[in-house]
Chains A and B, each alone.
Chain A
Amino acid sequence: MTSLIDWFDSRTGYRHLLREVLLEPVPGGARWRYVWGSTLVFTFAVQVITGLFLWTAYSPSAQTAWESVYFIQDVMSYGWLVRGIHHYSAQAMVVLMALHLIQVIVDGAYRAPREINFWLGLILMQIVFGLALTGYLLPWDQKGYYATQVSTEIMGAAPVVGPLLQQLVQGGAKYGHHTLTRFFAMHAGFLPAALMLFLVLHVYMFRRHGLTVRSPQRRPETTFWPDQVLRDAVACLGVLAVVLLCVIFKGADLSAPADPSEPYSAARPEWYFLFLFRFLKFQQVEHYGLAFGAIYVPTAILVVFVLMPLVGRWKAGHAFNVFFVFVLMAGIAGLTGLAIYEDRRNADFQLAVNEADRSGERAVQLARRPEMIPVAGAVTLLRDDPLSQGPKIFAANCSSCHRYNETDGTGRKVTVAAKESASQGSSVESRVEAPATAADLGNLGSREWIRSVLVDFKNHFAPLRNAVDKKVPEDLLDNGEMADWSETNKGMLTDPANKESLDALVELLASQSGRFAQTPEQKALVEQGRKIFETGTLAKGKLSANCVDCHSIAPAAAKKGGVKESSAPALAGYGSVDWLTRFIADPGRPENYGEHNHMPAFKNQLSARESDLLARWLAGDYYRSSAPITAAAH
């Protein structure tokens, strides 16, 4: 055995290599403060390993990037684990880099003869930032798409070469397929290759000059193996543990597929760039132009770092460097904290974040359907989804009068400027909730809606009292036939003896309603309700006027013949997609509200597509998965 090893050594010289690598002298004994460089090499190795495996399933193009990442994350075995490790190790790398830099500066390890190695380290830092930036875009989700767009716009604001550079990295004037192919080539090819090259040089130079020992030396000289190796390994284990905890308890998220036509109000950079983001929000900074805050100031900071080895020759210079790095870190921490604090207090931003989370989950939910993702890409999933689009169309077109569960449909309160604030200048933000002037459509066509219209009409439609045109409440509430009927019969209908009769009537009308996802109708009750509808006879007493005198309903299945003429709204298919589509187009038609209509017709204001999405949302006609999405307004 020994002779075999000797033979191998004589042919390869591996013993010498091993000695060279492992028996590096560590004067003053192994220390915890030397571990940072090794943890960085370790995280980079983790990134290479997980990255290569992710590569086997990733597909860079505008119609396949989000799709393949969704598939990795949600469908493939252990995809969540590999992507999660890659996601959080990247963030760990940025943190470790900062610690490594601080340690090197505090220990004076950047001074002669180690200047060049310090500069190599700064180059490595830029490469890691490049990897972080390019990696953020690759899932092609809203979050990465909009955050990266800010980065490339900043690049475009650089003097002279900026616009050309921006076109080059984007692969054109706009984001598209080639943005992804280029970012991917950078992320998985050019940058890792460059990083490896500079890392080899960095480690070689480090070995050439040896450790920068911090005095006093507490222990006798030792070697890298095994004392320091053990400390390094324990530190790496700690990093891996933190990464795994993040993966298991948080997971790498994936927001909705990138959609250039869908604004993303929750756009923020990765947390370690939040300080720069917050810095750009200072008016005093932006006063000097975008390039100043986003390019010149960071470049100036980098220049200070580059000059550190030269400045550090003097004792005072070294003190300045240490002072500078701590002030900078404090500034970064302060700005990051400020950005987080402000966002937490910003209700609009929180709503936007919730919305973004919800649409991300919705996109995944739709992608999981048996139909899967169409060839046109996942971006069409949300564009064609009533649950995603309906609320926005409602907010834009309906919420100036109607509400949806007391909001504008998207979960926001409808507000108007408070009158008194107008005189005090515009700087004071003062909003009051705007009163609705038409019905809340949150449960349109449901059993609760029907019950409330029957026994509590005036209250149900109370928002009409707020209408600017006072004829509206006069016509519909004060002199309305249905309002009058409801008031007259309320006592009788809510009489405990008539509980079943009322239930039957509600059940009949619910059977007419086209609202989706109601619990199944009870056939026996429906037939009982039909009798009441036609004869007005309750278990106890008789209605003041029969429903059928004014309203028509769809005939019972057994009977032949069309829908009867009626003087009041026809109730067949009430609240269904077709009914709503026709109603939204022109609510003044005789079978709807006729001459009692006060709602504008939308046939010229909404496209067929918008009106269809809105009607489907109101009627509840959209995909529901068995797994509920997070508690939401819907």
Chain B
Amino acid sequence: MPADPAQNDRSLADAAPASGPRRSFLAKALAFLTAGVLMTLPTAAGLAFFLDPLLRKRGASGGAVGRRDADGFLPVTPLAAIPADGRPQIFTVYDDSVDAWNKFANQPVGRVFLRRLPDGSVTAFNVRCPHLGCAVDYRPAQSDYLCPCHMSAFGLDGQKKNEIPPRDLDSLEVKVKDKSEVWVRYEVFKAGTPDRIVVSG
């Protein structure tokens, strides 16, 4: 393989300048250290920059921000738009949203299923499947929710009906203002875990 046999006689360890082994050790150590610093510094700077999503402090969430009220609820729909017969209906949730350098006013940020219970109260579920985050569909014929990705199934009360999802559908807090406006505390939870961990409010 090597082209020049003369080069083959030398190895890195033997390379000793004329002035003796001690000087040689010092030179090797210093060269090693310098090279280490040279390589580490730009890499470390780059890595630290790359870690920005973990390092950067973001504006505190909660409170009346954007369209949210002081408790973090968002207006979703008039109460009248939810079927009175207990069928769930899907609604889009609008909020101001931030993406890196952009702020978008009043954007669709997600969807919820709202359903009226016989006692007149309203329940809300995030459409995001707790398995892997696809959107579940309501199936009127089966009276259930089904995820088209991996067939997670849930009852109308959000309870899981098979072993695929790790937890029930994520229910959201609801309040009805002035007996006519439905507000939902819209949150997104981490998929794939048995516990509800808030990803974003």
Contact = CB atoms under 8 A, between A and B. Distances in A.
Interface of A: 13, 16, 62-63, 146, 149-150, 153-154, 156-157, 163-164, 167-168, 170-174, 176-178, 208, 259-267, 277, 280-281, 283-284, 286-287, 289-291, 348-349, 352, 383, 396-397, 400, 415-417, 426, 429-431, 604-606
B121 interface: no
B72 interface: no
Contact of A176 (B78, B83, B99, B164): B99
Contacts of A156: 190-192
B111 interface: yes
A462 B141 CA distance: 24
B164 A286 contact: yes
A613 to B, nearest CB: 12
Interface stretch (B8-16, B20-28, B132-140): B132-140
Given A261-B108, A426-B142, 15 more contacts: A13-B3, A146-B134, A149-B133, A178-B53, A260-B109, A261-B107, A265-B137, A266-B148, A267-B134, A287-B163, A397-B81, A417-B141, A417-B142, A430-B141, A604-B81
A72 B151 CA distance: 36
Contacts of B158: none
A153 B102 contact: no
Nearest to B146: A348
Interface residues of B, number: 53
Contact of B199 (A146, A174, A289): A174
21 contacts: A62-B99, A153-B132, A156-B190, A157-B192, A163-B190, A167-B54, A168-B54, A174-B99, A176-B99, A176-B100, A261-B107, A263-B134, A265-B135, A281-B150, A283-B162, A352-B148, A416-B140, A430-B141, A604-B81, A605-B78, A605-B81
A178 B143 CA distance: 39
Majority secondary structure of chain B interface residues (helix, strand, loop or mixed): loop
A264 B164 contact: no
B99 A177 contact: yes
A128 B49 CA distance: 25
Contacts of A168: 50-51, 53-54
B150 A164 contact: no
B190 A171 contact: no
Interface string B102-146: 100001111100000000000000010001111101001111000
Contacts of B1: 208
Contacts of B151: 281
Contacts of A172: 53, 100
A629 B54 CA distance: 45
Contacts of B163: 283-284, 286-287
A282 B200 CA distance: 30
Contact of A261 (B54, B111, B197): B111
Nearest to B50: A168
A255 B80 CA distance: 35
A570 B177 CA distance: 38
A176 B53 CA distance: 12
Contacts of A177: 99-102
Contacts of B127: 263
A604 B78 contact: yes
A205 to B, nearest CB: 12
Nearest to A430: B141
A150 B162 contact: no
Please indicate which of the listed interface residues B78, B90, B193 has the most CB atoms of chain A within 10 Å of its own CB.
B193
Contacts of B81: 397, 604-606
Contacts of B192: 153-154, 156-157, 290-291
A415 B140 contact: yes
A178 B137 CA distance: 29
Contacts of A431: 141
Nearest to B89: A396
B200 A289 contact: no
A27 B114 CA distance: 72
Interface string B161-182: 0111110000000000000000
Contacts of A63: 102
B148 A157 contact: no
B149 interface: yes
